Structure 1
Amino acid sequence: MICGGIDIGGTKIEARLFSDDLATVEMRRIATPKDSLSDFIDALAEQVRWLEQLSGEAQSLPIGMAIPGLIDAQTGRAFTSNLPASGHDIGLLLSNGIARRLPLMNDCQAFALSEANGGAGEGCRSVVGLIMGTGVGAGLTIDGRLTERFNGSALEVGHIGIPAHVLVPRDLPIWPCGCGKHGCFEQYVSGNGLAALGSHRLGRPLKAEEIVASAMSGQADHMALLSEWAHIAAELLLIIQLGHDPDCIVLGGGLSGIPNVVPMLEKPFQSLLLGEMRMPFIRTAIHGDSSGARGAAIMATRQLS
């Protein structure tokens, strides 16, 4: 079934039209309005109309939407940072302009759903999709389907506090997080977290891309930074395993593009395993940037079946 997906981000709203086999037919990105709720809703409606016109299916085209943050399962309200729609029922507001209500889901859940169906998690019963980019979050699927979430959240693993045994031996500060807590994994293993580690260790501002590039070229201090990041990220993988014991963890986000990132994480993860627990498959995403919209499109088609 031809379908559409919209991936809503802090800087862009991406619409993709997918073929019957979930291959991208065409993609369109527009800037995300940040200052006005009405402009934000108008931009979403513009992307919906583009998909409808492109497909020739008009209002019969299944379209799903993915957004960072939490969508309250009872009220439909979204709670998200960097968007002017937090605290509002986006689906309801949008329906006033497009004359139908579209399903909305968390972007990490969309990523996991996409990669569990024809992606890197294909063939695995339990799949966690872990995004390590600007932020850190995850989604969970069982048998290729989403799990019900009481609060409408994804797996908010980025806001689990790092254990003292990770920070104290490394003499790392307990950094504040944008969520209001302190010492969240997101502040250490996201792209910004890697940059913060570099700035802390080397005493000057650094970007994650710079650290990775220099480490790949053999610069010793940057190689050490990347190794430290991998050891901390492995602790997060352990927590995911202890809490959910998935068959497979699929990596997404900018840091999943680090060369040889899977063996880089597997080595310290292996040393952390509890007892005789087997390590899950660690894989990088197949669908990459399209997974948010693709997962939302899968959700929309399934709601019609």
Structure 2
Amino acid sequence: MENIYDLIVIGAGPAGLSAGLYGARAKMKTLIIEKDKTGGQIVTTEEVANYPGSIRNATGPSLIARMVEQCEEFGAEKIKDNIVEINLDDKIKVLKGEKGEYRTKAVIIATGASPRKLNVPGEKEFTGKGVSYCATCDGDFFTDFEVFVIGGGDTAVEEAMFLTKFARKVTVVHRRDKLRAAKSIQEKAFKNSKIEFMYNTVVKELKGDGILESIIFENKETGEVWEYRADEEDGTMGVFIFVGYIPQTDLFKEKLDMDDRGYLITDSEMRTNIPGVFAAGDCRQKVLRQVVTATADGAIASIMAEKYINENFEE
């Protein structure tokens, strides 16, 4: 069984790296497979201030670099490949990638979720420099600044209320003539004096020199297009985009249980509906998607994978 891994982790974000670290530390033969860049969403974050114990001025990339180092120190293997086909039903799981085929006793899926983008000019350029997809991560950086929240669902309106703890003014920009958020959430937001609402409006472009300085808006009803510039003293402003997330779980459709949005369903021990297959991090159904919850998921999944292997495979 030389060519069979004890554990394969699909994805090298915080959940996957945590799972890989715990797997290798438990002396399991562990492989982490990542199709894209290591680190997931956190590598776009300029500063990580809310991960317990992180050093002052830690960045997303520096935090991930340390996680990768730890995995390597304990002997986890890591390769770049895109898994395109899976067989999870047999005792030995088979993962087929563009570069090779991998066999393993247990699998941890840590493929993450991506914020749905507006796909407008400037969005990518100013991500981490005025544009954010996480109020909990970045709200503090906009203390006493003006902030725009794009979206009209529960998350957008709840995050707008959260951002009023920091920003001096929050404007919710929604493409329709009324919000989609639950009435109870709307009522709270309407009572908040720091929040204003801009309906029938979309963002056409984000502009600036190094940092976000202005937004081009369009009124969908009238066709009017205008540019809103940051206050001269501030020099910048925040744009928080909450138009949904896309879980990276297409590969597992009709194989693993997932909710109507595509998030994998697990129990508290990260087990999916197939024995020996676990899920961790943003790809699974959960209430909070943060680095701290992703790393916790990864640790739990790895410990439970080890337990599964001990119970189902002889030495």
Length-normalised TM-score, structure 1: 0.32
Q: TM-score normalized by structure 2?
A: 0.31
Q: Of Structure 1 and Structure 2, which has the larger fraction of its residues in strand?
A: 2
Q: Give the structure with higher Rg (CA).
A: 2
- Hey, which of these two has a bigger chunk of helix by percent? 1
